[in-house]
Amino acid sequence: MKTLKHKLIFFVVGARPNFIKAAPILRQLGSSNEFRYKLIHTGQHYDQLMFNVFFNDLQINAPDYNLNIHGGSQNTQIAKIMLAFEEKCIQDNPDYIFVFGDVNSTLAASITAKKMNIPLIHYEAGLRSFDRKMPEEINRLMCDSVSDYFFCTEDSAIENLLSEGKKRDKIFLVGNLMIDSLFHLIRKDNSSYQDYEYAVLTMHRPSNVNDELKLNILINIFNEVAKKIKIIFPVHPRTKKLIDTKKLNENIVVIDPMGYNDFSRLWTKSKFVITDSGGLQEETTALKIPCLTIRDNTERPITVSQGSSTIVGSDKKNILLNVDKILDGKYKNSKTPKYWDGKSANRILSNLKTFK
């Protein structure tokens, strides 16, 4: 029978947020003899600035395996990842598979794990937008339907899992690994974290950038906001080709994608953030920086009910009203959710030690 220190965990990452979430656990395991682990990168994100630089920024080793699967339709990508990942599972026979979030790589690894009867651990389990038009929502539902252990970032996730029939003793509130990485950066960074007179914009979701009418509406709104404050816009590769033909206010500064450290320094010094990113909703909440979320819903409701995020969709009046509140110092008060304290990796490892 294998002891704890001989058990092998496969950590599967595929997209930018996965790297950020995995890093705090891997740094802890690097100085521990309690588990063996391997990091598997599926290749889902393959842009240089969204992959290689992250491993340097986050102070973790390069992946043990890179499956190099990218491009194609979602179903093609998932199928190719499953086939390549299965080979690594047959080769190494892991005792656990640990997946993060809700991307295609997460779903592919989850299905493979259960088809091979390997216990599956899902971090960010139970998050729900209740919008099945979102590909990520389908991934979340399917992954949680076959997971054995559930690590949650907020209480709403626990409630969702219980309502779906999951056993309470398999569900663990551990906090937020994104915040572990953020606090790790702040502790080792000598830069001053004061407010500057600019906003940061990120936008990448298909619901915002693939719909020509919706994109035009949002560009018009951003141009209006830019009359009040400079906007710095690191453009996601998917978005860049779609906005090249759009007329932007000269006060909107479009820049290339940034590595984790540089981007964190950018938004942490900003006056506020406009985004459709789930991760940024969480990170801004941790530092109480106003966040206007250009979506109609969120799978992270605690960032709205307790945190610094406001769901504004593409409502021009609502967005401009909240921008004015921020600039006038009248935006809502917020607080940091329970366990978003930079110690989530410790809680996860403590729970892993109890698994049979």
| Cα diameter, the chain | 66
CB 204, CB 16: distance < 8 Å: no
Q: Residue 291: is it exposed, middle or buried by C-beta count within 10 angstroms (0-12/13-18/19+)? A: buried
Of 99, 157, 163, the C-alpha closest to 128 is: 157
Residue type, 320: L
CA angle 115, 120, 125 (to 5 degrees): 125
- Name the burial class of residue 167, with classes exposed (0-12), middle (13-18) and buried (19+) by CB atoms within 10 angstroms of its CB: exposed
Q: What CA–CA distances, in Å, run from 287 to 283, 291, 345?
A: 7, 11, 19
Nearest to 140 by CA among 175, 110, 95: 110
Token match 């500057």: residue? Answer: 196
Residue in 6, 41, 204, 236 annotated catalytic: 204
Separation between Cα atoms, residue 98 and residue 10, nearest integer Å: 6
User: Are the CB atoms for 19 and 13 separated by under 8 Å?
Assistant: yes
Q: The sheet that has 171-173: what strands, in order across it?
A: 65-66, 36-41, 8-13, 96-100, 120-123, 149-152, 171-173
Amino acid code (one letter) for 205: R
- Vertex 107: Cα angle to 105 and 113 (nearest 5): 100
Backbone angles phi, psi at 297, to 5 degrees: -160, 175
d(CA 215, CA 204): 11
Report how far residue 189's alpha carbon sits from residue 251's, in angstroms, rounded to the nearest whole number: 29
Is 70 among the residues known to form the active site?
A: no
The residues annotated with a catalytic role in the active site are 204
